[in-house]
Structure 1
């Protein structure tokens, strides 16, 4: 009986220490795999630079980009072309963050975007962007905005 009790205590200690070690390894391996999301300020700075190459640095190879009612663009080259076309239609832009919501894989940003048209006139529009991440790369950019007032000369 005495030997059985010692054996059971030793066995349970071994199991518990093995579980602790396994948990530490799991936590360690997860923390080395998980990469920190880039800051929204850096992402918006890349967008505001009007240089599609800067934004592309944040994207996964098969990233999805959806701007309002426009067709979805998939992949860095398609997103690069869509951004280049858009940037060519305006003189300048600047995002102002109003509110941010985050979880482990997504960031939602409520903003105002001020645009300068080629004729020098300005307009500020509300927008909400959703960025979905896989590690430190954006897999989805979803832009909820009515862009029509930008191109309506009456505004």
Structure 2
């Protein structure tokens, strides 16, 4: 994949655009947060991501390192989560995704510890 596509992914997430983000997924594309249950398909992904967005004021990703190999992308990042209480918590994370032949995400995984966000 490309750095431009990854930037689009993070721009939609940082803009808390759950529907726009889910539109990047294939019809049977899957998304998994850490050890949570996978969400399958754009509608389920949009609902799950919107539910998460409702628990925060906003967020901002900062890319630390990125790797691209064909249809696979791995990004190490820090994420500033703006809590509903007004303060901010920064959490390290790794996002990995794969795109299908049509350029749509068919597998998306985020690895992070959200305990500091909800502490």
- Runs of 4+ aligned residues of structure 1 deviating over 4 Å after TM superposition are none
Structure 1: 5+ residue runs without aligned partners?
Answer: 1-35
Structure 2: 5+ residue runs without aligned partners?
Answer: none
Which structure has the larger Rg over C-alpha atoms? 1
The corresponding residue for 1:41 is 7
How many pairs align?
A: 117
The corresponding residue for 2:107 is 140
Bigger RCO (CA 8 Å, 6+ sep): 2
Q: Which has the higher helix share?
A: 1
* Secondary structure in structure 2 of the residue aligned to 1:91: strand
Q: Which has the higher strand share?
A: 2
Cα distance in 2 between the residues matched to 1:65 and 1:57: 13
Q: TM-score, normalized by length of structure 2?
A: 0.93
- RMSD (Å) for aligned C-alpha atoms: 1.2
Q: TM-score, normalized by length of structure 1?
A: 0.72
The corresponding residue for 1:117 is 83
